[in-house]
Amino acid sequence: DNRIRVALTGNPNVGKTTLFNVITGSRQHVGNWPGVTVEKKSGFKIYKGYEIEVIDLPGTYSLTAYSLDEVVARDFIVDEKPDVVVQIVDATNIERNLYLTTQLMELGSKMIIALNMYDLAEERGDKLHVEKMEKILAMPVVLTIASDNVGIYELLDTVIAEKQKENYHSREIGYGDEIESRIIELEKVLSQDKGLASRYPLRWLAVRLLDGDENILRKIAGSSVAPEIKSILSRLDIEEYEALMADKRYEVISAMFPQMCERCMTRMTTSD
Ligand code: GDP
Ligand code: MG
Ligand code: K
Q: Among the listed ranges 87-91, 140-144, 197-201, which one has the minimum average pLDDT value? A: 197-201
For range 7-31, the mean pLDDT: 91
- Our answer on whether the CB atom of 12 is closer than 6 Å to any ligand 1 atom is yes
- Our answer on whether the CB atom of 9 is closer than 6 Å to any ligand 1 atom is no
CA of 131 to the centre of ligand 3 (A): 29
CA distance 40 to 31: 5
Q: Among the listed ranges 63-77, 93-107, 148-162, which one has the minimum average pLDDT value? A: 63-77
Q: What is the pLDDT of residue 30?
A: 83
- Our answer on whether the CB atom of 114 is closer than 6 Å to any ligand 1 atom is no
CA distance 103 to 74: 9
- Our answer on whether the CB atom of 52 is closer than 6 Å to any ligand 1 atom is no
Identify which has the larger pLDDT, 39 or 176. Answer: 176
Q: Under 8 Å CB-to-CB from 168, ≥6 apart: which residues?
A: 108, 109, 110
Q: Which of 39, 128, 144, 147 to mutate to test the pocket of ligand 1 (most atoms within 8 A of CB)?
A: 147
Instruction: Using a cut of 0.90, tell me whether the model's pTM lies above it.
Output: yes
For range 5-24, the mean pLDDT: 96
Task: Work out whether strand 50-56 and strand 39-47 pair parallel, antiparallel, or are unpaired.
Answer: antiparallel
Q: Concatenated DSSP letters for 67-95?
A: -HHHHHHHHIIIII--SEEEEEEETTSHH
CA of 106 to the centre of ligand 3 (A): 22
Q: What is the pLDDT of residue 137?
A: 94
Whether 23 has a pLDDT exceeding 90, the answer reads: yes
CA of 56 to the centre of ligand 3 (A): 6
- Our answer on whether the CB atom of 183 is closer than 6 Å to any ligand 1 atom is no
Q: What is the pLDDT of residue 126?
A: 92
CA of 196 to the centre of ligand 3 (A): 30
Of 34, 56, 35, the C-alpha closest to 44 is: 56
Of 213, 200, 215, the C-alpha closest to 241 is: 213
The closest-lying atom of ligand 1 relative to the alpha carbon of residue 144 is: 23
- Our answer on whether the CB atom of 150 is closer than 6 Å to any ligand 1 atom is no
CA distance 220 to 2: 34
Instruction: Please check whether residue 95 is in contact with residue 253, taking contact to mean a CB–CB distance below 8 angstroms.
Output: yes
CA distance 234 to 129: 44
Strand order in 110-116's β-sheet? 28-32, 39-47, 50-56, 3-10, 84-90, 110-116, 141-143
pLDDT band at 233 (very low <50, low <70, confident <90, very high): very high
In the predicted model, what is the mean pLDDT of the chain?
Answer: 91
Q: What is the pLDDT of residue 271?
A: 46
CA of 148 to the centre of ligand 3 (A): 19
- Our answer on whether the CB atom of 85 is closer than 6 Å to any ligand 1 atom is no
Task: Give the ligand with the smallest distance to the CA of 33.
Answer: 3
Identify which has the larger pLDDT, 145 or 79. Answer: 145
Question: What is the per-residue pLDDT across 154-164, written as a single tens digit (0 to 9) for each?
Answer: 999 999 999 99
pLDDT band at 13 (very low <50, low <70, confident <90, very high): very high
pLDDT band at 34 (very low <50, low <70, confident <90, very high): confident
Distances (CA, A) of 263 to 112, 124, 258: 24, 10, 9
With left for phi above 0 and alpha for psi between -120 and 50, is residue 87 left, alpha or beta? beta
Task: Work out whether strand 3-10 and strand 110-116 pair parallel, antiparallel, or are unpaired.
Answer: unpaired
- By percentage, how much of the chain surpasses pLDDT 70? 96
Dihedral angle at the C-alpha atoms of 250, 229, 204, 242, nearest 10 degrees?
A: -10
Distances (CA, A) of 71 to 19, 31, 157, 177, 266: 22, 17, 29, 28, 36
Instruction: Please check whether residue 115 is in contact with residue 141, taking contact to mean a CB–CB distance below 8 angstroms.
Output: yes
For range 52-79, the mean pLDDT: 90
Q: Among the listed ranges 121-125, 128-132, 137-141, 184-188, which one has the minimum average pLDDT value? A: 121-125
Q: Concatenated DSSP letters for 149-203?
A: TBSHHHHHHHHHHHHH-SS---------HHHHHHHHHHHHHHTT-HHHHHHS-HH
Is the predicted ipTM greater than 0.90, yes or no? yes
Instruction: Please check whether residue 57 is in contact with residue 89, taking contact to mean a CB–CB distance below 8 angstroms.
Output: no
Question: What is the per-residue pLDDT across 240-266, written as a single tens digit (0 to 9) for each?
Answer: 999 999 999 999 999 999 999 887 766
For range 127-141, the mean pLDDT: 95
CA of 16 to the centre of ligand 3 (A): 7
Whether 72 has a pLDDT exceeding 70, the answer reads: yes
Q: What is the pLDDT of residue 267?
A: 59
CA of 227 to the centre of ligand 2 (A): 41
For range 195-204, the mean pLDDT: 93
Task: Give the ligand with the smallest distance to the CA of 10.
Answer: 1
Q: What is the pLDDT of residue 64?
A: 80
